[in-house]
Amino acid sequence: MPNWSSRRAFLASGLALPVAASANQTRLAGPPPESMVYGTLGKTGLKVSRLGFGGNVASDPSVLAAAFDAGINFFDTARIYNNGNSERMLGAVFAGKRKDVVLATKTTAKTKDQALLDLDASLKAFGTDYIDIWHLHGRNAPADVADGLFEAQRTAKQQGKIRFAGVSMHFTMKDMIPYLMKLGQTDIILCAYNFSMPPDMEMENTIAAARQAGIGIVAMKTMAGGFARIQLGDRLYTDNPKALTDKLKHPGAMVSAMKWAFRNKNVDNAIVGITDRDQLGENVAAVAQPFTDGDRQLLAAQMDFIRPLYCRMCGACAGACPRGLPVADMLRILSYADGYGQFSMARDRFLELPEPVRQVRCSDCADCAVHCPNGVRVPDRLRKAQAWLS
């Protein structure tokens, strides 16, 4: 079981902390670091802040630096984020502080050779000679983790290019996590985990079993689509003020969502995409706060709001579209645009879908064959994705 400690206890233990905490460093404006808590990531021995920084939406280097000053020492990105610029930005911000941060990145490669090429490109972009955690990116089924990919991770470890091997996934964690545990190749699992997930997804038990086996658990998608994050003036909503008003009804829901994830002691770290200092302050504050009845009520209201919009990633509709649409993937991509307000990232991900998938139009179907047991209005949402992103 993780042993969470405050910054003060961490300092007393003599373990490394972000160097910005030291007296000879200049702090950038940001939330104070005192509220950060730290623990050990599975059995890796890596000492990490419980809040991690998700690099997928970050574009302001000063926010990364402020996060570091606030005590965050875990930074996650991927080779494909922002065409490699996310890795490049992290490398630039933390040049000279390499040992004070834990860097995680990911590859979408399908073969060993391609994965190792990706890894070299990542090392170059970061400007480092090792990566702490190297994930196989978005592997939701056993077929997504060919033997050669684990071999690439073993080779990279032997060469000293990575310290730990990870796998990230968005769906079907109930099946995928036990599969990875059985194979015994994986040090860290990065998985979707949030308050919207129905009990039959068995996330609590699945995560607990993996953590018990010594695998480090990093949660993502904790904001369940981030639909309360749409800000006044967001260009996507300027033509729809009612939708904007509705979305702003639950301003505290995102903090409650973080607290919900942190209430689970088997979650070693939760990464959150942070774009500005207000979000940074909210998230840092949430780390040490208890999950309360008030949070529960807020999330219940948020749940009602997002029910038709947000895919819970349960995997129940896999293969249900006769025209071959990867429904859950497409819904996730749409939420980057209309939940998190990251249009260009959504479009980049959409354009990575196979050409035949991008050509399908849900408006051509008289009836939709996909029936979501969780209430997502699948054809409406996919029509929107196709209109906005194709």
Residue 138 binds ligand SF4, judged by CB under 6 A: no
**Binding status of residue 372 toward ligand SF4 by CB under 6 A:** yes
Q: Report the residue from 112, 163, 250, 312 that binds ligand SF4 according to the rule CB under 6 A.
A: 312
Smallest gap from Cβ 311 to ligand SF4, in A, equals 3
Q: At which residue do the structure tokens 């840092």 appear?
A: 284
**Of 186 and 196, which has the nearer Cβ to ligand SF4?**
196
Give dist(CA 298, CA 280) in Å, integer.
20
Q: Which part of the chain contacts ligand SF4 (CB under 6 A), choosing from 183-191, 234-242, 317-325, 347-355?
A: 317-325
313 scored as a contact of ligand SF4 (CB under 6 A):
yes
Spatial strand order of the sheet with 37-40 comes to: 5-6, 37-40, 47-49
Examine residue 315 and tell whether it contacts ligand SF4 (CB under 6 A).
Answer: yes
By the rule CB under 6 A, 378 interacts with ligand SF4? yes
Residue 390 within binding range of ligand SF4, rule CB under 6 A: no
From candidates 65, 93, 325, 334, binder to ligand SF4 by CB under 6 A: 325
Please tell me whether residue 360 binds ligand SF4 under the rule CB under 6 A: yes
Q: Does 365 bind ligand SF4 (CB under 6 A)?
A: yes
Q: What are phi and psi of 47, to 5 degrees?
A: -95, 115
From 36-44, 152-160, 235-243, 320-328, give the range in contact with ligand SF4 by CB under 6 A: 320-328
Near ligand SF4 by CB under 6 A: residue from 152, 162, 370, 389: 370
Nearer to ligand SF4 by Cβ, of 281 and 375: the residue is: 375
261-265's contacts with Cβ under 8 Å and 24+ in sequence apart are 261/193, 261/194, 261/195, 261/219, 261/222, 262/50, 262/286, 262/287, 262/291, 263/290, 263/291, 264/193, 264/204, 264/207, 265/1, 265/2, 265/4
> Which residues form the interface with ligand SF4 (CB under 6 A)?
311-317, 321-323, 325, 327-328, 331, 360, 362, 365, 368-370, 372-374, 376, 378-379, 382
